[in-house]
Structure 1
């Protein structure tokens, strides 16, 4: 293993993290080098003048003066480049997988070295965060895949051994687990496309009310015996442009999330209207009763973050649905967020009525409209 061999170097690195540079107040490395050279030259001149005044031999005074000048220059330059040495050591440690190292010397200086130190530390923070996300994703994917695979293996082995019979109920249980695996694999593929930014849209015009009805119908069937009532209220005859498959994925995930976190026998309300001022279609999906704390509203859109169906109980989903829903909305130049509502949890989906080309997606009017809507 490489880790033990790296420990002495990392201890040396951390031992010098608190060292401060003797200079660094100027905004340019060239000015700092100029100050060092000027200071060393002035001290050498004054020293040589004093030595010669007191009748020192020039053969002794000049070498001694040069030694002092070189010592002063070395001392200041040592502090000047110390952050660069720490960046080198930190980069070597990061190459070995240690993303916790930081460079502390030079963080307050104003020159190019100080800027480099701050940029390096920001990069290290991003790499540490990305590495932690990778570890979490591997752990979560392994857990999510292991659960249905283990259940399938147990049921199939029991049938093969004759412990249980292949009754319709047992076969339905196997089918349910395979569907869960299929959904998870689909979510992971969409998540990889989301990370790679590789997603094309098939834009077409469609009737929004009909689209919502077609989206809700299979969810009502899948809801089974939970006795949820889904009420759809679409104001006016809204025609919009977009990729129906991606948008259906968006609305299916949001509505399914609302059903999952609603008590049996309760209502889920879907309200949609057109915002004429900004050319957007605003949809609110409300499940009555439950609320999401304000501090948790941004976290729920992160991958593998699962909601609670009750005190201390996770929803049992993949934790990918909401992150993919937000991604699908952003592909269309829209947004998904949780808004305040006394009735319960309210997911507000804002989408442009007409497709926005990629080069126009960040125009001032578009950005302002998406934010204000």
Structure 2
């Protein structure tokens, strides 16, 4: 970003707008013309009454009219000038700039300044997310690459023997790299707005069993129990690879934020009212404040494992889960549940021809 000296000077000084409470700029300009005309007419009448000739009264009335018009028009155009300066500052990379004049008016200029500030807020957030992504990806790549390099160098130097345990450590680090690359590929697909889907019909209970099994193996050291309650008769259509991303990320998130030795519940049923398959993944004990329920699905937002402590990972898991659900015309959200944090996944049994876009 550039230095904040690019911020427009109008942001620091107050400019009074004589007319700004009308809902239309056309009305304000019409009022300006009427006021100027009335003042010129009254002045000309008074000057004639006191004996001034028309050649003397005309220049004076024109000067007064121009002065009044300039005064009023300056207040009308001041926000536009600040918008210009702010746009130039943003073009130089300063996304912290904001327009302060005209935001309290009801006309088109006020609407424009408020829309500009909203856009600047989004651009600043996007730029911060870009910087965070670079930092996160660099960190996530550096850790497994450094571990791989050190282990391979030790094996090449004969310091460490290529035992099955050491080779398994190398394999685990390559898996971490593969997962990160998969996350980045999914992010690029999210940016594109859609992805190709391989739609097929499948048994939902078997699908969840196959999805949960590797999570249980990976979680062996934490002694979590995944309790599955699903109707055996549920069959649905969808892309199993994309849906496996969805359920793996949601269930893995629940396991990550559960104390060791606790239970995570996965229950599913059919909603006959709208033909949806509803799955709830419940992390017993913990709760997610309502103010954070929408934020956690934003990209690169990491949850808290404790006071002031961020969880590991890339912060993409939940956003990818929501994207996969939207591709199938479904939704993912956090719902109220006294038992704990409850992620509700709603997916149509029958896949629509045109999937929802992210």
**TM-score, normalised with respect to structure 2:** 0.90
SS of the aligned residue for 2:314 comes to coil
Conservation of the 8 A alpha-carbon contact between 1:13 and 1:90: no
What's the CA shift string for 1:280-315, capped at 9, x where partnerless?
Answer: 111222344444444433333232333345566544
Shift of 1:241: 1.2
Q: Does 2:127 match 1:131?
A: yes
Q: Does 2:314 match 1:299?
A: no
Shift of 1:11: 5.5
Q: Who is 1:13 aligned against?
A: 10
> How does 1:35-184 map onto structure 2 within 5 Å?
35-184=31-180
Counterparts of 1:208 and 1:50 in 2: how far apart (Å)?
A: 90
Q: Residue 331 of structure 1: which of 323, 327, 351 is its match?
A: 327
Let me know the Cα RMSD of the aligned residues.
Answer: 2.5
Structure with more relative contact order (C-alpha pairs < 8 Å, separation 6 or more): 2
Shift of 1:97: 1.2
Q: Who is 1:353 aligned against?
A: 349
SS of the aligned residue for 2:352 comes to coil
Compared CA separation, residues 69 and 166, structure 1 to 2 (3 A): same
Counterparts of 1:27 and 1:253 in 2: how far apart (Å)?
A: 49
Q: Who is 1:369 aligned against?
A: none
Conservation of the 8 A alpha-carbon contact between 2:296 and 2:302: yes
Deviates more, 1:308-317 or 1:294-303: 308-317
Counterparts of 1:3 and 1:344 in 2: how far apart (Å)?
A: 45
Shift of 1:21: 0.8
Q: Does 2:22 match 1:26?
A: yes
Conservation of the 8 A alpha-carbon contact between 1:329 and 1:335: yes
Give the aligned length.
Answer: 357
What's the CA shift string for 1:320-367, capped at 9, x where partnerless?
Answer: 2222112111211222223344444332222111113438x69xxxxx
Counterparts of 2:105 and 2:172 in 1: how far apart (Å)?
A: 61
Compared CA separation, residues 108 and 54, structure 1 to 2 (3 A): same
SS of the aligned residue for 2:278 comes to strand
What's the CA shift string for 1:158-209, capped at 9, x where partnerless?
Answer: 3333332222222211211110011011011112211221312222211111
Q: Who is 1:319 aligned against?
A: 315
Counterparts of 1:71 and 1:308 in 2: how far apart (Å)?
A: 61
Q: Who is 1:371 aligned against?
A: none
Conservation of the 8 A alpha-carbon contact between 2:40 and 2:65: yes
Counterparts of 1:67 and 1:84 in 2: how far apart (Å)?
A: 25
Counterparts of 1:257 and 1:288 in 2: how far apart (Å)?
A: 13
Q: Residue 269 of structure 1: which of 261, 265, 276 is its match?
A: 265
Deviates more, 1:195-204 or 1:227-236: 227-236
Conservation of the 8 A alpha-carbon contact between 2:270 and 2:278: yes
Conservation of the 8 A alpha-carbon contact between 1:236 and 1:273: no
Unpaired runs of 5+ in structure 2? none
Deviates more, 1:129-138 or 1:160-169: 160-169
SS of the aligned residue for 2:7 comes to helix
Q: Residue 281 of structure 2: which of 282, 285, 295 is its match?
A: 285
Q: Residue 259 of structure 1: which of 250, 255, 258 is its match?
A: 255
SS of the aligned residue for 2:266 comes to strand
Compared CA separation, residues 70 and 150, structure 1 to 2 (3 A): same
